Amino acid sequence: MTTQTLQGRIALVTGGTTGIGFGSAKRLIEHGATVYITGRRQEVLDAAVAKLGKGAHGIQADASVKADMQRVAGAIKAAHGKLDILFANAGGGHATPLEELTEAQIDSELSINIKGVVLTMQTMLDVLRNGASVVLNASITADMGLSGFAVYAATKAAVRSLARSWTTDLKHRDIRVNTISPGVVPTEGYGKEQKMTDQQVADYVDRVSTEIPAGRVGSAQDIGDALVFLASDASAYIRGVDLVVDGGMTRVYAGKN
């Protein structure tokens, strides 16, 4: 069921062309928001905007490039004069044994997952209205030890930390900052970033589903629903928290006693 709780709200979802970002943008639109999405690949961006339909706008931009994000802020300001909801979602990484980790991979994961989130927040400050809701996309890996994901997990722990610091920094403007930590959400990224084949993804989903109390992996819409809550006035008293959306995977033992 959808309501129009976000009617009249202007939202930005970075990395909104596929996966969690796309599903979240779809949910925001279903709840009445006007949504700007970004991504680096123009043709993927155009296809996503067309699929999202009315209420969607696309701006090609790399979240880790300040000039790109300044251009995004300028376009939203010119069109609407304000931004009500910011979902800093663009990010990624993949598993690599410690011995094989290259400088390029370390730089790339730090750049998109930390620098990109900082630049997104900084460049949007001028257009974000007082009382706006900011949500950063973290990950359950932030408090797990997951083989090969050390750098990625550390960047996501940093994202959670940024949300707490910015909650203090932006207190005078009543801007709320929270994080969402998705669990296992099979997306295009599993093929593109993790280099998994469709069969490998299917086998992984089968295996991991039995370990998740909800009995299934998550969907981009599950994350979108959590985002709608954190973006709406229903969460007005919630600040600086991490909302784990993982079907209970990291908090509950799903096996037999």
Ligand X SMILES: NC(=O)c1ccc[n+]([C@@H]2O[C@H](COP(=O)([O-])OP(=O)(O)OC[C@H]3O[C@@H](n4cnc5c(N)ncnc54)[C@H](OP(=O)(O)O)[C@@H]3O)[C@@H](O)[C@H]2O)c1
Task: Show which residues are catalytic.
Answer: 152
Which CB sits closer to ligand X, 5 or 229? 229
Tokens of 117: 């989130």
Q: Which residue, 152, 157, 158, is CA-closest to 95?
A: 152
Give yes or no for residue 142 binding ligand X (CB under 6 A): no
Give yes or no for residue 49 binding ligand X (CB under 6 A): no
- How many residues sit in the footprint of ligand X (CB under 6 A)? 32
- Member of 10, 11, 19, 127 binding ligand X (CB under 6 A): 19
Angle between helices 103-110 and 150-169 (to 10 degrees): 30
Q: How far is the CB of 170 from ligand X (least distance, A)?
A: 21
CA 129 – CA 255 distance, rounded (Å): 46
Give yes or no for residue 123 binding ligand X (CB under 6 A): no
175 contact partners, CB below 8 Å, separation of at least 6? 128, 130, 131, 132, 133, 134, 166
Q: How far is the CB of 136 from ligand X (least distance, A)?
A: 9
Stretch that binds ligand X, among 124-132, 187-195, 196-204, 237-245 (CB under 6 A): 187-195
Considering only residues 217 to 256 of the shown chain, the ones binding ligand X according to CB under 6 A are: none
Pairing mode, if any, of strands 10-13 and 34-39?
A: parallel
CB atoms within 10 A of CB 84: 19
**Residues near ligand X, by CB under 6 A:** 14-21, 38-41, 44, 62-64, 89-92, 112, 116, 137, 139, 182, 184-185, 187-189, 192-193
